[in-house]
Copies of this chain bind each other. A is one copy, B any other.
Amino acid sequence: MKSLKVGLLGLGTVGCGTLELLRNNAALITDRSGCQIQVIHASARNPNRPRAADTRNILLTDNPFEVVNNAEVDVVLELIGGSTIAFDLAAQAIKSGKPVITANKALIAERGAELFDLARAHNVPLLFEAAVAGSIPIIKALREGLAANRIEWLTGIINGTSNFILSEMGEKSRPFDAVLAEAQALGYAEADPTFDIEGIDAAHKLAILAAIAFGIPLQFERVYTEGISHITDRDITYAEGLGYRIKHLALAKQTPDGIEMRVHPTLLPVQQLLANVSGVMNAVEVKGDAAGPTLYCGAGAGAEATASAVVADLIDCSRLLDSSPTQRVADLGTRRDQAIPILPMGEIETAYYLRMQVDDRPGVLAEVARILAELGISIEAIQQKEPAPSEAEAEIILLTHRVRERAMEQALTEIEALASVHGPAIRIRLEHLDN
């Protein structure tokens, strides 16, 4: 029987989860892969710390380069994170002719182009299923399952922390800060939650998915990124009343003028399956020209869910030993990058939810409606709410039809300049996902 000797970099949550999964399901994994997969060497900052995994038969070191350079190691599993030392380690492994498997979305999104070039030059597979959406085999679905399709768009809830926070705010009518604190206490959010709640993590993943879907280069820096920290439970309640749920959505879409790549809070009709994915679950919906819409849903993070994807890559890798490049799926699905422009945000088209504080007198709504009409923005619904007993100002809430974002920016500038409108308007994008 074949064997695959693994060098593991990083013994954190996912590293220990991977060791445990390989141990618990060893017989089954050997049976399915036709290969004995065994971690023989692992690195951690403090190798002697007690861990959630049995490391007795594994050589441990605090120097990850020792693992990479171990001549016995067939494949390197990079579970350190970040894009600096992880890059150096992956590059070193590839240069030594060793396949690399990583769960590191930042590494792939920010430095994937260099790594894939290197991997091609050294004829080595570089696998990254675990980098996007944890347990969901979405990279495989996009690169292989939907390979016959021209992808029209894809969208997803791909950051579990943000989805947990928005779900809790909605279900329990609680403010953002309180739910964030709870998420931190539960371990769903980091002590510094910026990466998750400001959308950077989702943007990393979207850059990877979009590159595969559209055959474009990885362009993390071109993803428009807006987080959820400005979303209030009031907007969630109003949206629900109008038949919508606010989700932190990542969306990439091919239009005649170029590709949209954007991450932002979004109103979705409640009857959409995606709108009903709650808590820390992830989901990705892909619209192919032949397959139509397909949806993939599952746990987006956690030791075991991520280990499921890491070990799937190990099993794939065991089959790819001694393979030629034409026997492998191309790194990002296609064999050459398409030069398709990325649309600036002013050029994208979407619908909007708007909320503004206004004077409580007749005529204000008409003024707002006039500005929108003059800019060719049609209104789907409009409501004026009387001031609550403790408040002096009324509120206007409205939904628009689809419009170019540039026109909406212009409209908001004019609306906010009205004497009867107070403070900046709240503006949240709205998608129906049916076009």
Residues of A within 8 A of B (CB): 2, 17, 21, 24-25, 28-29, 31-35, 129, 134-137, 140-141, 144-150, 215, 271, 273, 276-277, 288-299, 302, 304-305, 307-309, 311-312, 314-316, 319-320, 322-323, 326-330, 333-336
Give every chain B residue within 8 A of A141 (Cβ-Cβ): 137, 140-141, 145
Cα A150 to Cα B311 in complex, Å, equals 13
Q: Which residue of B lies closest to A319 (CB)?
A: B327
Q: Are A150 and B290 in contact (CB under 8 A)?
A: no
Q: Which residues of B contact A294 (CB under 8 A)?
A: 135-137, 296-299
- Are B297 and A292 in contact, with the CB atoms below 8 A? no
Q: Which of B24, B298, B312 contacts A295 (CB 8 A)?
A: B298
Report yes or no: B273 in contact with A288, Cβ–Cβ below 8 A: no
- The answer to whether A316 touches B144, judged by C-beta atoms less than 8 angstroms apart, is yes
Whole-angstrom distance between the Cβ of A57 and the nearest chain B Cβ: 19
Contacts of A322 in B (CB 8 A): 327
Distance of A21 Cα from B271 Cα, bound (Å): 31
Residues of B within 8 A of A25 (CB): 148-150, 289-290
Which of B32, B144, B150 sits near A147, CB closer than 8 Å? B32
26 contacts between A and B (CB under 8 A): A21-B148, A28-B215, A32-B330, A32-B333, A32-B334, A129-B145, A135-B291, A136-B294, A137-B140, A137-B146, A141-B141, A144-B312, A145-B309, A146-B308, A148-B311, A148-B314, A273-B276, A290-B305, A290-B308, A293-B298, A295-B295, A295-B298, A319-B326, A319-B328, A319-B329, A323-B327
Q: What is the distance, in angstroms, from A6's C-beta to the closest C-beta of chain B?
A: 13
13 extra interface residue pairs, beta carbon distance < 8 Å, beyond A288-B308, A295-B297: A32-B147, A34-B330, A136-B294, A137-B144, A145-B309, A273-B297, A276-B276, A290-B304, A290-B305, A291-B305, A291-B308, A292-B304, A297-B297
**From residue A217, how far is it (CB to closest CB) to chain B in Å?**
15
Question: Are B146 and A312 in contact, with the CB atoms below 8 A?
Answer: yes
Q: What residues of B have a CB within 8 angstroms of the CB of A144 in the complex?
A: 137, 140, 312, 315-316
Contacts of A323 in B (CB 8 A): 323, 327
> How long is the Cα–Cα vector from A323 to B2 in the complex, in angstroms?
15
Residue pair B295, A147 in contact (C-beta under 8 Å): no
State whether B273 touches A28 (Cβ < 8 A). no
The answer, among B135, B147, B316, for a CB contact under 8 Å with A312, is: B147
Question: Bound complex: CA of A296 vs CA of B141, how far in Å?
Answer: 10
- Say whether B295 contacts A291, CB under 8 Å: no
| Bound Cα distance from A398 to B178, whole angstroms | 41
Q: Are A292 and B288 in contact (CB under 8 A)?
A: no
- Establish whether residues B137 and A28, one from each chain, have CB atoms under 8 Å apart when the complex forms: no
Minimum distance in angstroms from A293 CB to a CB of chain B = 7
How far is it, in angstroms, between the C-alpha of A332 and the C-alpha of B271 when the chains are bound? 36
Complex Cα distance, B35 from A136, in Å, reads 28
Chain B proximity of A288: nearest CB distance (Å)? 6
**Distance of A2 Cα from B334 Cα, bound (Å):** 15
Across-interface contacts of A147 in B (CB, < 8 A): 29, 32-33, 311-312, 315
Chain B residues with CB below 8 A from A307, complex form: 148, 290
Q: A327–B327 contact, CB under 8 A? A: yes
User: Does A148 contact B308, Cβ atoms closer than 8 Å?
Assistant: yes
In the assembled complex, which residues on chain B have CB atoms less than 8 Å from the CB atom of A330? Answer: 32, 34
Q: How far is the CA of A333 from the CA of B311 in the complex (A)?
A: 15
Instruction: Evaluate whether A148 and B319 lie within 8 angstroms (CB atoms) in the complex, with A292-B299, A294-B298, A296-B294 already known.
Output: no
Report B-chain residues with C-beta under 8 Å of the C-beta of A328. 319
A145→B273 contact, CB < 8 A:
no
Closest residue on chain B to residue A310 by CB atoms: B148
Instruction: Kindly provide the distance from the CB of A158 to the nearest chain B CB, expressed in whole angstroms.
Output: 14
- The 8 lowest CB-CB distance pairs between A and B, nearest first, are A137-B145, A148-B311, A294-B298, A135-B291, A291-B308, A290-B308, A295-B297, A290-B304
Judge whether B320 and A327 touch: CB under 8 Å.
yes
Residues from chain B with Cβ under 8 Å of A129 in the complex: 145
Bound Cα distance A17, B148 (Å): 12
Q: Are A312 and B28 in contact (CB under 8 A)?
A: no
